[in-house]
Every structure is written in structure tokens, then in C-alpha cells.
Structure 1
Amino acid sequence: MTTPMWRQPKTVWSIAFACVISFMGIGLVDPILKPIADELGAGPSQVSLLFTSYLAVMGVAMLGTGWVSSRVGAKRTLLLGLALIIVGAALAGRQDTVGGIVAFRALWGLGNALFIATALATIVNAASGSVKQAIILYEAALGVGIATGPLLGGWLGGISWRWPFYGVAVLMAIAFIATTTTLPKTPPAAQPTSISAPLRALGHRGLLTVGITALLYNFGFFTLLAFTPFPLAMGAHQIGFIFFGWGLLLAITSVFVAPMVQRRFGTMAGISGALLGFAAILAVMAIATDNKTVLIVGVILAGAFLGVNNTLITETVMKIAPVERGVASAAYSFVRFSGGAIAPWLAGNLGERSIHLPFWVGSAAVVLAVLVLLTARTIISALDEAPGHGAEPVTSRTEAEALTVGDA
């Protein structure tokens, strides 16, 4: 008998709530990029470093998340990550230079690395039901957080660009308290993870290929996220509402559309189709960058394709390599956030030459991502052909971490 997706242990719901708050922090800053640039006298390429420092540190730190978590336990790792985010966000809001904000965004990125990699593996290992259901829950939390982040950021940013940073600190403090009080104690793993485990995991062709695919489509993703506010040239409230629509559509398609696409067309076709749809939207935005209506519609519609892609590619990562899920998550995130770190800076620099160029480059990178993914089509197709694909329970003692035992 299949366990209903929404019937989960308290551990899963606690982490999912903290994930919502964590992902709110990403979109919360988006509506205030232009206000920061205007008030501090910075250009798009300088302000884009808020994303670059955050993502670069997050990507590199992903390599050490399994090493930390296996030695101090999942709960302490999650709390350490949340504490660093609180400090980084609060101090970023107190800065008077772009350089100061960039520095504390880097600390924020370190905290997010410890939190995100551990949270994904924890939800997958602790959830009742299947891998697919656990990942849909994680992507739902991601979507809700990303959708509400810009809305809150636009509202707070309308008061001052500093307030969204303080808002993140307060929300993360709530998540810290919730995690402290509702998560059971998690002892260190019986066999600690080597710090080199994620790099060794990338020796698996399927995992490396999916990681490079994500690196490339992140060029399009962060062009959309970090650069679009500049040609839109709107206030924080308006930008917040636009990206709220984007995040809302992302959340809906992550939960409801992605599983239907996978059943109907398969994982490989589902990811490829979603990425090609996203690339087409970026191309249209490149052609009509001067038309604000086209940009607004493009941003919102992109959420639908990204939602389908996120769910399918995350499930693929969790299953494609014969390694622990925490290691697979860390290895994949290390590769993909490398693209995320470069993309905002590149988009800002290209945008200072021509407002059309960032979208053209983003679209081309997403198309290239599909071509890279096709080289692993045999490996990915084998996942669909496996008996009970996406339906295997996540209660294996060899895979479950201490959190599963503690929750039981």
C-alpha cells in the first residue's frame, strides 16, 4: 500500500519549513538589486557580485557538508548552517558599501551550503513513502520559499533595501527555533564521510553529466533572476510581485506537473523539453528586451519550465549514482553552483554592453545543457525502465542516516 505523500513524520515537516524560510532568502534580495545599485552608486556587474560571492562560497562549501554532517550529526549541521545565515544576513543589512554586502553574502552562502545539502538528504532519508514523493516535498518547499521571498522582499524593500536582509535574519531565527525544538537528536554517523567523497562521486559519468547540465542551465536561471530587474527598471514592490508569479508557477509545476510529465514522456524527455522551453523564453526575452510586458510574461512563464526541470533533475541526482544521497547532493550542488556563481557576474558585465546579450548567452547555455544531458540518455533512460521507478521506499538502513533512527 502506497503511503500518502502528505503523511510524513514531524522530522520531514520541520525540515521542510526551514527549507521554505531558507529559499525565501534567495528571492528576498532580488527586488532590491536595483535600489542597492542606485543608492550605493554601483553598476549591474558590481551588484551581481551579491549572487556571485553567495553561490561561489556555497558551491565550494558543498564539498565539506557531508564531512561535517557525518561527524556532528544532521541536526547540529542544520543548526550551524542556520546560525551562519542569521549572522550573514543581519550584518549584510548593516553595510554601507557593495563590498561589505558581498562579503557577508559569502558567509550567508556558507551557511546555506551546510543547510541545503543536509536538508535534502535528510528529507529523502526520513520521509515515509518513495524517493519521488520526498523530492516533490522538497521541491514544493523550494517553490513556496522562492515564490514568497520576492513578495516579502518587495514589501520590505519598499521601506529600505536593508530591511529584506533583516527580514531573512528574523525568519531564519524562527527556523532555528523550530529545528531546535522539533528535530530529534542525531548522533554522528557510524562511518564518517570522507571530505573527498563528493569529488570521487563525480567520477560516476551519470552524476557528472547531470551536474554539468545543471551548471549550464544555471547560466540561464541566474540571468533571469539577477539581471532581469535592471531592464525592467521597476520599483521593489513591482519586481516582488513579478517574481512571486514566477515562484508560484514553479511551485505548482514542481508538485503537480512534473510527475505527470515524467509518467507520460519519461525523465529524459521531460528534462530536455523543460530546458528547451526555458531556452526559447530567454531567446524571446533577448529579442524584445525593450518590451517590459514581454519580460514580465517571460519571467513568470519560465517558472513553469523550471519547476518541471527541478523536480525531475533532483530525483535523477538522488538515484543515478551508487553513492550515499548526501554525497550525491553535495557533489551535484558543487558543480551546479559553479555555474550559478559565474552567471550573475557575466550577465551584469554583458548587460553593461548590451541589455540583449545576457539573455542570448543564457539561452545558448541552456541549449548546450540539453546537448550535454543527451550524452547520458542511456543511463537516465535506465532509471525509468527500472521496476518501481521512483516508488522505492526510503527506509533502507544502509542509506538512512541517524535522523531516520532518531525519528523512529
Structure 2
Amino acid sequence: MSAHGASGSILKQPKAVWAVAFASVISFMGIGLVDPILPAIAESLQATPTETEMLFTAYLAVTGVAMLFTSWVSSRIGVKKTLLVGLVLIVVFAAAAGLSNNVEAIIGFRAGWGLGNAFFISTALATIVDSAKGGRAAAIILYEAALGLGIAAGPLIGAALGNISWRGPFFGTASLMAVAFIAIVAFLPKTDDSKLEPTRLSAPFKALAQPTLLALALAALFYNIGFFVLLAYSPFVLGFDVWGLGLTFFGWGLALAITSVFLAPVLTARMRRSRVLWIALPLLAVVLVLCGVFWNDPTMLVVLIVAGGLVLGVLNTVLTECVMGATDLPRVVASGAYSAVRFIGGAIAPPAATEIAREFGADAPYFAAAVSVAIAAVIVIACAKPLARADVDEEELDDVDEAEAVLLGDAA
């Protein structure tokens, strides 16, 4: 059973942690920022829904692939430089997307944006976990709070800027990321790069050979399909204007933020993390089935989208906690390997959803997403033995490691 005794210290963090957390908020805004303007981009640039959904796919696919190599880069140039490289790439490609005049160019620049995001996200998570006070659990809650706040604010800011022009959210992201760059430069201490231990290129692939991490990554792949069908496909079904979509997904993101910070720790304090996943994944599948049933009732669909956010917040936090405790590998390696597989699901889902809708009807993508999330639940339940390590608390794991070291010493 998880213990979260460090919760009281979550706000007492070094300036460096707050700087990275702030930059993380801005980074995660980029996910939801374009959500309210998807229909507007499709209309303005005469793009099909599937072409417009490629804005998500290009971003997430490149993010996922690049994350396999972020640990190799950061172990050679240092954490601070890796974060700054990521932020610069996001600023450049977000601004370039805003200057584009066709959907193909925006897709390409979103891919470059995804490259920057890969350098930033996995390194930011490892930095917060390694630097935050109060233990791993408190650090992950802080990271998930940044994620939730960013995802919640993104659609609202996207709506405000998108109401002026569909280009606005892109320029807004570039500007905010420039501020984040300054914050990292000012508050994150310079690391001693002479003490860096270079990571092999093969490290993330070898990490995925570990049963615990592989099970979590595969479960997250199928879970992420449900996540991004809800986020990226729903705007086309709802048919709202930019403000309607912005407010809907603000509610979704706010629900996600609240449960990731407040409900997830309560649940994991009372039961094992894997058991929380056993409950939350089927519950998300039920929400997606109901979305398919009520797809043509906008009011009911909005309620279900927000309800989905409540479940997603729990899942995000618990999965991240599991990954950070799943192996003895450096956290940036574990995070990068897990995220690379996870983002494949996010990359597949948006265009697949619009194509499924075209072939089988507007409700079909939600049912397909529900099946995908159910597969994630089956993986988690079937892999109960490998996931036992992810259920162990940080303090318990230290005791286990010490005991193993004593036993190995005695054997020697």
C-alpha cells in the first residue's frame, strides 16, 4: 500500500523545481492549445478532418520516437542544456507553424515541435523527481499538477487566441515557451557536466526488455488511444465554436488536474497502484462506451468528456508513479522508454478516429477507443506479477535493495 506522507512538503520546493514545473505547464498547454481551433484550421485551410488530426499525429509520433534518444543526449550535454534545446525547438517550430499558409506545412512544423517536446518532457520529469523535496511521490504529484494545469489552461488560451485567428495559439505557445526558457536559464543551477555518465543508445530498448516497464508501456499505449480519441476527435463531433470547445476542454483538463493531484494520492494510500489501475481503466472504457451512445447529444457528451477527465487524472498519476518505481534504471531512461511507446497510441488515435467515423459512423471511434482501453486493463491484470515491483513504495524499495545487497555480500 502506498504512503504519501510527503504531501505536506509538496509546495516547499527549490526555485529550480518551480522553474521546470512552470515550463512543464507551458509545454503541456501545447497539447490542448490547438484543440479548439481544429475545425477552424480545417475550414480556413480547406483541410479534411483526417489531415487536421495529423497535427496531433506528427507531434506525438516524433515526440515518441525522439524520446528513445533523449537519455543519450542528456547524459552527454547535461540536463539543463537538454531542457533548453527542447524549449528553443518548440519556440522556433511553434512560431513557424503560425506563419504557415497550408496544412502540410503546419503538420511538418508540429513534427519539429514534437522533437523539442521530447527533449523537454522526459528530462523535465526526471529533473523534478531528482530535485524535488518530499520524496518521489510528492515530486510526481507536482509534475502531474503541472500537466493538469497545462492541459486545462491550453484549450482556454487556445480559444481566446483562436477567436482572433487560428494562428494565435501557435504564436502564443512560442511566446510562453520563450518565457519558460528564461526561467530555466535563471533558476536551474548549472550542472557539473564533468561528472556525466554517458548512456548507451541501446539503454531505452534494453529498458523495455524489463517485464514491469514493458507491461506498463503497452498498457499506456492502448490507454492513450482512449485519451486522444476523447481529446482530438470530440471537437469534430461537438460542432461548437472555439469558445465552446475551449470551455469544454478546460473543464476536461481541470477535472484531470484535480483528480491527479488530490484523488490519486488518496486512492494509492488505500490500495496498491496496480489495483487502482484495475478499477480506473475499465471505468474509462465505460465512459467511452457512453460517449458512443450519446455522441449526438452535445450536453451529455460534454458531461461525459469532463467525467473522462476525472478518470484520466487518476490514471496519469498512478501510471507515472508506477514507471518511476518500476526499475533501477536512471529515471530519464525509464521515462523516455515508457513515453516512446505510450505516445505511439496518441499518434495513431486522432487520424484513425476520423477514418473509422467516415467508414462506420460518428459513434464508432468511441467504441473502438473503449475496446483499446479494455485491452490496457487486460494487460495490467494479466501482468500482476511483473507489476508487483511498481506497487512497492520508495522507502520499501530502499529496504529491499539494502536487504538484497546484504544477502549478496554474505553470499560473496
Q: How does 1:9-408 map to 2 (within 5 A)?
A: 9-188=14-193, 189-353=195-359, 354-384=361-391, 388=395
Percentage of pairs with the same residue? 50
The one-letter amino acid paired with 1:155 is A
What SS does the corresponding residue of 1:228 show, helix, strand or coil?
Answer: helix
Instruction: Indicate how the Cα distance of structure 1 residues 125 and 387 shifts in structure 2: closer, same or farther if over 3 A, else same.
Output: closer
Q: Within 1, Cα distance between the matches of 2:20 and 2:376?
A: 31
> 1:322, CA displacement in angstroms?
2.1
Deviations 1:258-277 (A, max 9, x none): 01111223211111211111
User: What is the TM-score when the length of structure 2 is the normalising length?
Assistant: 0.92
Q: Within 2, Cα distance between the matches of 1:315 and 1:153?
A: 30
Q: Within 2, Cα distance between the matches of 1:379 and 1:106?
A: 34
Q: Within 1, Cα distance between the matches of 2:205 and 2:368?
A: 28
The one-letter amino acid paired with 1:186 is T
User: What is the TM-score when the length of structure 1 is the normalising length?
Assistant: 0.93
> 1:379, CA displacement in angstroms?
3.1
Q: Within 2, Cα distance between the matches of 1:313 and 1:344?
A: 22
Residue matched to 1:405: none
- 1:130–1:390 Cα contact (<8 Å) kept: no
> 1:146, CA displacement in angstroms?
0.4
Q: Within 1, Cα distance between the matches of 2:131 and 2:370?
A: 37
What SS does the corresponding residue of 2:286 show, helix, strand or coil?
Answer: helix
The one-letter amino acid paired with 1:64 is F
Bigger mean CA offset, 47-56 vs 34-43 = 34-43
Q: Within 2, Cα distance between the matches of 1:4 and 1:288?
A: 43
Q: Within 2, Cα distance between the matches of 1:387 and 1:96?
A: 50
- 2:277–2:315 Cα contact (<8 Å) kept: yes
The one-letter amino acid paired with 2:343 is F
Deviations 1:101-126 (A, max 9, x none): 00000000000000001000000011
What SS does the corresponding residue of 1:128 show, helix, strand or coil?
Answer: coil
Q: Within 2, Cα distance between the matches of 1:385 and 1:369?
A: 21
Q: Within 2, Cα distance between the matches of 1:238 and 1:65?
A: 37
For these two proteins, the number of residue pairs brought into alignment is: 392
Structure 2: 5+ residue runs without aligned partners? 400-412
The one-letter amino acid paired with 2:239 is A
Q: Within 2, Cα distance between the matches of 1:187 and 1:59?
A: 28
Q: Within 2, Cα distance between the matches of 1:145 and 1:47?
A: 22
Structure 1: 5+ residue runs without aligned partners? 393-408
Q: Within 2, Cα distance between the matches of 1:104 and 1:312?
A: 32
Q: Within 2, Cα distance between the matches of 1:10 and 1:90?
A: 28
Q: Within 1, Cα distance between the matches of 2:170 and 2:394?
A: 47
Q: Within 2, Cα distance between the matches of 1:387 and 1:326?
A: 17
> 1:10, CA displacement in angstroms?
1.2
Instruction: Indicate how the Cα distance of structure 1 residues 383 and 36 shifts in structure 2: closer, same or farther if over 3 A, else same.
Output: closer
Instruction: Indicate how the Cα distance of structure 1 residues 35 and 309 shifts in structure 2: closer, same or farther if over 3 A, else same.
Output: same
Q: Within 2, Cα distance between the matches of 1:96 and 1:359?
A: 32
- 1:44–1:227 Cα contact (<8 Å) kept: no
> 1:321, CA displacement in angstroms?
1.6
> 1:374, CA displacement in angstroms?
1.4
Deviations 1:210-244 (A, max 9, x none): 00000001111110111000010010111000100
Q: Within 2, Cα distance between the matches of 1:387 and 1:255?
A: 19
- 2:326–2:389 Cα contact (<8 Å) kept: no
> 1:375, CA displacement in angstroms?
2.2
> 1:382, CA displacement in angstroms?
4.3
- 1:44–1:351 Cα contact (<8 Å) kept: no
> 1:352, CA displacement in angstroms?
2.0
> 1:365, CA displacement in angstroms?
0.1
Q: Within 2, Cα distance between the matches of 1:231 and 1:202?
A: 37
Q: Within 2, Cα distance between the matches of 1:143 and 1:390?
A: 28
Deviations 1:320-345 (A, max 9, x none): 12211110000000101111111111
What SS does the corresponding residue of 1:88 show, helix, strand or coil?
Answer: helix
Q: Within 2, Cα distance between the matches of 1:386 and 1:22?
A: 29
